[in-house]
Amino acid sequence: MSKKKINRKNFLKKSALGAIAGMSIMSCQTESKVHEGPAIVSQKKYKWKMVTTWPPNFPVLGEACNYFAQWVEEMTGGQITINVYGGGELIPALECFEAVSGGAAEIGSGASYYWAGRSPATQFFTTVPFGMNAQQMNSWLYCGGGQELWNELYAGYNLVPFPAGNTGVQMAGWFNREINAIEDFKGLKMRMPGLGGKVLEKAGGTAVLSAGSEIYTNLERGVIDATEWIGPYHDYKMGFHKIAKYYYAPGWHETGSTLEVFFNKRVFDGLEPRLKSILETAAYRMNAWTLAEFEARNNEYLQKLVKEENVELRQFPSEVLEKLKEFTNEMLEDITAKDSSSAKVYKSYDAFRKNIKQWSSHSEKPYHNLL
Ligand code: CA
């Protein structure tokens, strides 16, 4: 008998046994259901705190956290309940990382580039200037090895991270002066977190990191000259058009920023697989919903800004963008030379980007050119 036939015979034999075994298990379960109720699962109740970097009930970002809590409660039948706290309600916005790491709260929500001070490598899990877009980030994180590297990095801080939202391509930001040449960035104090901020500094500006709740006041009082935030829908809600004249595109510095939820690792690891799976599933849903919500509303609010608020919509000249791209490459060389974690993560990011860019040049790119 050929090897193929033997294998097939064994497979059929195993399948038949499996089917019989399955039937007997099913009948046992049916019986036990009748006599003893459903299969035994832990009914331990969990009451958790979720601390966020967003102001309380913030549109999209805070809303997504409220939804996350609701979905988890629904899926666990009330076994896990989560109280969501906006930045400043329980702890300052930018202290979520420490709070969850140390166990003062079980869950946090933010963007990994806020934690660059703890490890520069965190920034690559949000976005890289002139980097991957939202769908490419999801591909890298879910199916290209990104999540594993993120897990490894956050494990060092007793945290478990998940992608939980994406802004899509952002806007370049709000300015009170025109940007006609790269020299116009000289001396500019601009709110810009992450790797984009490092590029701004190469162009002669000063990057300031501030939580969302502080930006408006800082810009109004002249603590900063310019700010970037997200895109038209959210920027409108933030009211930046009331204090800045020019709204620039495109968001070269944030081309598809991934947002995150992260769990205290000891708490997460101690859960039964069913609950872990529910939390991961809720994060997937948050990831999809956030991007969909931004994309669904951005143009409506862009039109409002231009037509009702008389905002001057501008684009950076291509020479400015070319120069920013050069500075980005220099910045990436600096950071990967100095920090071995960044070098490891960027190696994976860059290889994945090159690969997907090649595919995109045959798919999205020619398609977009037809529109
Ligand atoms: Ca931004």
C-alpha 197 – ligand 1 centre gap (Å): 10
Tell me 309's DSSP state. S
CA atoms within 13 A on the CB side of 174: 27
Number of domains in the chain: 2
The partner residues of 284 in beta bridges, in order of sequence, read none
C-alpha 81 – ligand 1 centre gap (Å): 30
318 assigned to some structural domain: yes
The pLDDT value given to residue 214: 87
pLDDT band at 25 (very low <50, low <70, confident <90, very high): very low
The pLDDT value given to residue 82: 98
Domain at 199, CATH number = 3.40.190.10
For residues 155 and 174, give the distance between their C-alpha atoms in angstroms, rounded to a whole number. Answer: 37
Q: Do 134 and 62 fall within a single domain?
A: yes
C-alpha 298 – ligand 1 centre gap (Å): 14
C-alpha 62 – ligand 1 centre gap (Å): 16
Q: Do 87 and 186 fall within a single domain?
A: no
C-alpha 154 – ligand 1 centre gap (Å): 22
CA atoms within 13 A on the CB side of 326: 9
pLDDT band at 213 (very low <50, low <70, confident <90, very high): confident
Q: Do 243 and 350 fall within a single domain?
A: yes
Range of the structural domain that residue 141 is part of: 46-166+257-294
Does residue 172 contact residue 250 with C-beta atoms inside 8 Å?
yes
C-alpha 192 – ligand 1 centre gap (Å): 7
Q: Do 65 and 200 fall within a single domain?
A: no
Which position has the higher pLDDT, 6 or 158? 158
Q: What is the mean pLDDT of the chain?
A: 91
**Sequential DSSP letters for 227-260:** E--S-HHHHHHHTGGGT--EEEE--TT-SSPEEE
C-alpha 48 – ligand 1 centre gap (Å): 29
Mean pLDDT calculated for residue range 127-143: 98
pLDDT at 34 over 50: no
C-alpha 29 – ligand 1 centre gap (Å): 52
Q: Using the 3D structure, point to which of 294, 318, 344 is the last residue of a domain.
A: 294
How far from the centroid of its chain's Cα atoms is residue 143's Cα? 16
C-alpha 247 – ligand 1 centre gap (Å): 13
Q: Do 227 and 209 fall within a single domain?
A: yes
Mean pLDDT calculated for residue range 20-36: 40
Q: Do 193 and 86 fall within a single domain?
A: no
Q: Do 271 and 305 fall within a single domain?
A: no
Does residue 218 contact residue 224 with C-beta atoms inside 8 Å?
yes
Q: Do 303 and 205 fall within a single domain?
A: yes
Mean pLDDT calculated for residue range 106-123: 97
C-alpha 361 – ligand 1 centre gap (Å): 26
The pLDDT value given to residue 100: 98
Q: Using the 3D structure, point to which of 274, 294, 314 is the last residue of a domain.
A: 294
C-alpha 134 – ligand 1 centre gap (Å): 14
C-alpha 106 – ligand 1 centre gap (Å): 26
Q: Do 60 and 158 fall within a single domain?
A: yes
pLDDT at 240 over 60: yes
Report CA-CA distances (Å) from 243 to 54, 222, 239: 21, 10, 8
Around Cβ 145, how many Cβ atoms within 10 Å?
Answer: 15
C-alpha 133 – ligand 1 centre gap (Å): 14
Q: Do 71 and 207 fall within a single domain?
A: no
Percent composition of the chain: helix, strand, coil (DSSP 3-state, to 5):
55, 15, 30
Lowest mean pLDDT among 175-189, 210-224, 330-344: 210-224
Alpha-carbon radius of gyration of the chain: 24
For residues 196 and 335, give the distance between their C-alpha atoms in angstroms, rounded to a whole number. Answer: 12
Tell me 105's DSSP state. S
Name 346's Cβ contacts closer than 8 Å, sequence gap at least 6: 124, 128, 332, 335, 336
Lowest mean pLDDT among 11-20, 200-209, 265-274: 11-20
Q: Report percent pLDDT > 70 for the chain.
A: 89
Q: Do 123 and 250 fall within a single domain?
A: no
What is the pTM (predicted TM-score) of this model? 0.87
80 assigned to some structural domain: yes
C-alpha 180 – ligand 1 centre gap (Å): 21
Q: Do 275 and 180 fall within a single domain?
A: no
Report CA-CA distances (Å) from 361 to 207, 313, 357: 33, 28, 6
